[in-house]
Structure 1
Amino acid sequence: MRAGSLPAVTPEASARFPAALRVKRGEDFDRAYAARRRRDFGGIVVYACPNGLPVTRLGLSVSRKVGSAVVRNRVKRLLREAFRTSAAALPPGLDLVVVARPHQGWDLTRYAEALATAARAHAPA
């Protein structure tokens, strides 16, 4: 590829995790923690609260206790991908905040199942 040319648009490149689907503000994280609606899956804890939006958003908290930077980044990548691939099946109107704990590496399917289970359990009525 020449310098300055754009890469070809592929299905993988267009399947992004847009900013509108991320929990970014500290107030939103605090609101999810304060709601006290959580599911503990051992390796991760998922906090959920209604967000008043037509979409479900994801926030991640992965501390240094989880492991080295390489391990933390892998956990975050897998969680984002699990959310992105299953976002259409999740109930709308939730903020899901995932707090990772030290655990043996899970695969994508296990993270996706945990997110789906927590979202269904806390879906707004």
Structure 2
Amino acid sequence: MNKKQRIKKNAEFQQIFKKGKSFANRQFVVYKLENEHDFFRIGLSVSKKVGNAVVRNRIKRYIRQSFLELNDSVDTSKDYIIIARNSAATLDFHETKKSLEHVLKVAKVIKKKS
């Protein structure tokens, strides 16, 4: 995932929180908002309440890798913010990917496979 595909600035996070739509399951909350780019961007938020730095960084790596694997099926005209909940700390990579796919399907941003 390129650096240009990441949302880093607090102002961009706040804009997506205010104007975007949110969708959730037990492990993740996803905010989505239309963007003007021809690629999607993601911002990650994992609170210190979820775990120590090792756990938080592992969750972020899993989320980024899941998005890389879902790259072809995710709607590219949107910005996404993914917030990990406490229960995300116990998931392995495959469970993380499955949970993210579920919440993205609820948000209707995953294209159907043909």
Length-normalised TM-score, structure 1? 0.75
Bigger radius of gyration among the two: 1
Q: Identity of aligned pairs, percent?
A: 30
Please state if 1:109 is matched with 2:97.
yes
Following TM superposition, the consecutive aligned residue runs of length 4 or more in structure 1 with deviations greater than 3 angstroms are none
SS at the partner of 1:65?
A: coil
Q: List gaps (5 residues or longer) in structure 2.
A: none
TM-score, with length taken from structure 2: 0.82
The amino acid that maps onto 2:98 is: R
Partner in structure 2 of residue 24 of structure 1: 8
Give the 3 Å change call, closer, same or farther, for CA 59–26 of structure 1 in structure 2.
same
**How many residues are matched?**
105
When the two chains are superposed, the root-mean-square deviation of aligned CA atoms in Å is 1.8
Deviates more, 1:45-54 or 1:27-36: 27-36
1:63 alignment partner AA: S
Matches within 5 A, 1:32-111: 32-103=16-87, 104-106=90-92, 107-111=95-99
Which blocks of at least 5 consecutive residues in structure 1 are unaligned? 1-16
* Higher relative contact order (Cα pairs below 8 Å, separated by 6+ residues): 2
DSSP 3-state at the match of 2:23: strand
Residue in 1 aligned with 2:109? 120
Contact 2:63 2:97 in 1 (8 A): no
